[in-house]
Amino acid sequence: MIPGDCIPVSDLLTPVFGARLRNSRLTSASGPRLALAIRNSWSLTHLDLNDNSLKDSGLLDIYQCLKDPNCRIESLKLESNDLTEGCCMELGSALAENQTVKELSLNFNPLGDSGLELLQRTMRKRSCKLHTLRLNSTNLTECSGPVLSDLLENNPTLRNIDLSSNELKDEGARLVFQALEKSDSQLEAFWLQDVSVTQESCEAFASFLRANKTLTSLHLKENRLGDEGLRRLSCGLRDSRCKLQVLRLDTTSLSDQGVKDLIQVLVGKQSISELTLPYNSITDSSIDALVHLVKTSPQLREIRLRSNKFTPGGIKRLKTLARAGLTMSVGD
């Protein structure tokens, strides 16, 4: 592969600009050349720079492009670029002036709590138009709860947010849920995988679900919710205003009781189309309830149950539920 710093500017102007620059070994020295390419192609709408090593300094010239009124970039992907809090003030300032960026991905960069605070402080000077914000694995902790609350309250256009693989814990998550409820959020997809939440934050989450009419996809994998947490969460799922379609609860410490309580809520709820429950402690005791769910939910398109504690006979029975339009994943 040719090092990114040696790629001719003319090659950067090809129609597949975004696709070609993912994992292209770009470094901080590539910044000025990238900026020149952008300025010579203002029609560019998607810029994918994932999996490079631009670092904080490599983005400085690109931020100036974002501030230019000629900029048309709608999707900006900066995942895994060794970015730190040092980039956040300039990035926030650029976003505050830019009115076209709708998708921003900063996954897998160690921004930390202080970086997020700098980003939000500068962004809020002017209402951004972000629809999607991805902050997966950015070293956030519960200390970011107030900052995330402020971000959510002041960016009403947000439709999708990914906070997965951060240490938000119950206190940070509770503040996020309260902010979403207070802001009359229009959120549609919410990723909270592996954020160290437990049953303690589920009541606040349920309150948000009762108030929300737009959320359709919820990812809670790898959190120790337990049966009690799911029972509390179900109070929100039960509300007629809740229109959830996708619910992912892999590895959430659930047993038969929690699953039965959940199914009791979901039966007859015509919105659920995908339910995932792998890596829990569900046994044959839940099969009758699962059979009832599948038979009374024609809109259900996918259900995942692998890596639980079903017997071979139970797995065989569940497999008989397979039907046209339904993907059933059972067993190891």
pLDDT tens for the chain, 332 residues long, are 445 565 555 455 454 444 358 999 999 999 999 999 999 989 899 999 999 999 999 999 999 999 999 999 999 999 999 999 999 999 999 999 998 999 999 999 999 999 999 999 988 766 678 999 999 999 999 999 999 999 988 888 899 999 999 999 999 999 999 999 888 789 999 999 999 999 999 999 999 999 889 999 999 999 999 999 999 999 999 998 899 999 999 999 999 999 999 999 999 788 999 999 999 999 999 999 999 999 999 999 999 999 999 999 999 999 998 888 899 999 76
Q: How many CA atoms lie within 13 A of 13 on its CB side?
A: 13
Judge whether 307 and 278 are in contact, CB under 8 Å. yes
In one-letter notation, the amino acid at residue 37 is A
Taking alpha carbons only, the member of 110, 69, 65, 72 closest to residue 91 is 65
Provide the whole-model pTM: 0.93
Judge whether 260 and 289 are in contact, CB under 8 Å. yes
